[in-house]
Amino acid sequence: MSFPIQLIIVFLAFISNEHKAIAQFVPPYSSVVAPVHKHTDAAKPLFSVQVMTTYVNLQYLHANFLIDLDAPFIWHDCILEWNSFPGSCPNNTLCTYPVSCEEYQCTDVRTTYSYQNPSCPPVNNDSTIPDWGYCTCPVNVVNPITGLCGQALLNYDEFTVNTSNGKNVFTGLYGAYPNAACAPSSSFESFPANVSGVMALSSSPYALPAYLYDPLKRIIALCLPSTLSAPGVLLYGNGPYNLLPRSDVDVRSFLSYTPLIKHPGSFGYYINVTSIVIKTRSVDIPKDTITKLSTTEPYTTLRADIYNAVVRRFLKVTLRIPPAKPVAPFSLCYSTSTNGTETSIKVPDIDFSLQDGTKWSISTTNSIKKITKDVACLAFVDGGASSEPAIVIGTFQFEDNFVVFDLENSTFGFSSSLLRKQTSCSNFNFTLTDSP
């Protein structure tokens, strides 16, 4: 065999082995991770996720974004620059590159993946960046706190998060490059302090999950904290998921699953609640009722007919608890004071019976809201006679529950209260460690 042929064979063997090595490479992380904070300084309790937005002076800047399961795309406080260069961006400002009105993303977002709100006016291409003359891409956005419509400019963005194996947070980073939108700072005046954006976690192809690729699985794990003092956690990717003090236990072992249901005209997440059971007695739910999962509504809202039936049943099983004057927005409240001494109350679980026979148990900590030292209320709200969807499960019912939106299998996983498992959403270990 001639030397050139031998050389070719050796070279092909080297290439083959290198491809095998690449194919066999398994990254040390199974997910990406970010802390979740609770806020009570706005019109209603809200939750934000913290991500890294830009690299300045050898360090990443961090920003907090409201978690929104419905939003079609991310939008936040930033400004656009056609030609960024060192020093061109004002101090304490995030600058990004604009999407032109002539690019396909502009038409796609406007026509198919935009906010559907009758209060939003039509958008046009008149907007330009000063001194450049190129058209930008205005898009409508809806404030999740006020419900008011505004405008933002579509951009090319960059977000960075830490990687994780579900138990540890690694120093290794993961970058995502979504088409987000820049809104003026005034758009966030109603937001909690230090929150300057909306993080879309919906099924839209312009929400954050659409920009997180292999090896990450399309699975959102969310654990909302009940306290302001310690964060909860957002993980995207496959498990395991571990919480202290039982770091050897995979939280997935606590989960039950039910199918996610698509709802026309929405990018949010829905499930099928077939009945609401309180101490073995069932409140039947009309057959075509759908249930929405929300991270922007603070309390579970029920259509009036369902709400009234739940309240009647709840009154019967809590007859021994002294009533108290209702406190808006709640209509059923209890006294938590006996002869001037504060006492705790315990009520029966409220079970959401779901498709395929699973049940999501709402325990006292997620059904009774402490208002003052003397008053606590049933944390369910009357949505009115024409409320649509008929059931919206809000964040108070999510607190210290580990939930999973499995977009791979179109299922929703839920743990019920982690407090019964001697842990909580504030028990994820965020201590940074090097990748193995």
Distance, in Å, from the CA atom of 22 to the CA atom of 285, rounded to the nearest integer, reads 53
Burial state string for 26-35 with b = 16 or more CB within 10 A and e = fewer than 16: eeebbbbbbb
Q: What is the pTM of this model?
A: 0.91
Q: How far apart are CA 269 and CA 290, in angstroms?
A: 10
Q: Looking at residue 130, what is its pLDDT?
A: 59
Q: How far apart are the first and last CA of the chain?
A: 45
Mean local confidence (pLDDT), 304-322 = 96
Nearest to 404 by CA among 216, 238, 212, 209: 238
Mean pLDDT calculated for residue range 165-186: 95
Q: Which domains does the chain have, with CATH numbers?
A: 31-240 (2.40.70.10), 251-427 (2.40.70.10)
Percent of the chain past pLDDT 90, that is, above it, reads 75
> Per-residue pLDDT for 267 more than 90?
yes
Q: Name the CA dihedral angle for 72, 76, 78, 83, rounded to a multiple of 10 degrees.
A: -20
- CA torsion sign for 395, 75, 201, 273 is positive
Residue with tokens 């794990």: 221
Asked if 79 and 88 count as a contact pair (C-beta separation under 8 A), the reply is no
Segment 32-42 shows an average pLDDT of 97
Q: Which residue has the tokens 């504030």?
A: 426
Backbone angles phi, psi at 209, to 5 degrees: -55, -30
| pLDDT beyond 80 at 231 | yes
CB contact at 8 A, 392 and 132: no
Query: What is the C-alpha separation between 259 and 418, in angstroms, rounded?
Result: 22
The rounded distance, in Å, linking the Cα atoms of 403 and 133 is 47
Is residue 68 within 8 Å of 266, Cβ to Cβ? no
Average pLDDT score over residue span 223-252: 95
| 49-58, 73-82, 347-356, 370-379: range with lowest mean pLDDT | 49-58
Q: What percent of the chain is predicted at pLDDT more than 70?
A: 91
DSSP letter for each residue of 156-196: E--EEEEEE-SSSEEEEEEEE--EEEEE-GGGGTTSPTTEE
Asked if 110 and 123 count as a contact pair (C-beta separation under 8 A), the reply is yes
Q: Which residues contact 267 (CB under 8 A, 6 or more apart)?
A: 70, 71, 72, 113, 202, 203, 204, 207
Query: Which residues lie closer than 8 Å to 67 by C-beta, 6 or more apart?
Result: 36, 47, 48, 49, 199, 201, 222, 234, 295
Q: What is the mean pLDDT of residues 49-77?
A: 92
Q: Please check the confidence at residue 9 and state whether its pLDDT lies above 80.
A: no
Structure tokens at 115: 């906010």
CA 422 to chain CA centroid, Å, is: 24
3-state secondary structure of 2: coil
Average pLDDT, the chain: 90
Helix or strand run (H / E) with residue 246: none
Q: What is the DSSP letter of 99?
A: P
Write down the H helix ranges in 25-148.
Answer: 104-111
> Residues 75, 188: contact at Cβ < 8 Å?
no
Average pLDDT value for residue range 375-391: 95
Q: What is the 3-state secondary structure (H, E, C) of 192-229?
A: CCCEEEEEECCCCCCCHHHHCCCCCCCEEEEECCCCCC
- 201-215 pLDDT tens trace: 999 999 999 999 988
- What is the reported pLDDT for 5? 53
pLDDT exceeds cutoff 90 at 330:
yes
- Residue 21 has a pLDDT of 41
pLDDT at 262 over 80: yes
pLDDT value of residue 91 = 75
Average pLDDT over residues 67-89: 86
pLDDT computed for residue 14 by the predictor: 47
pLDDT digits (tens, 9 = 90+) for 282-303: 998 998 899 999 999 999 999 9
CA dist 411 and 131 (Å) reads 50
- C-alpha–C-alpha distance, residues 60 and 63, integer Å: 10
8 pLDDT band, cuts 50/70/90, is very low
Q: What is the mean pLDDT of residues 133-155?
A: 92
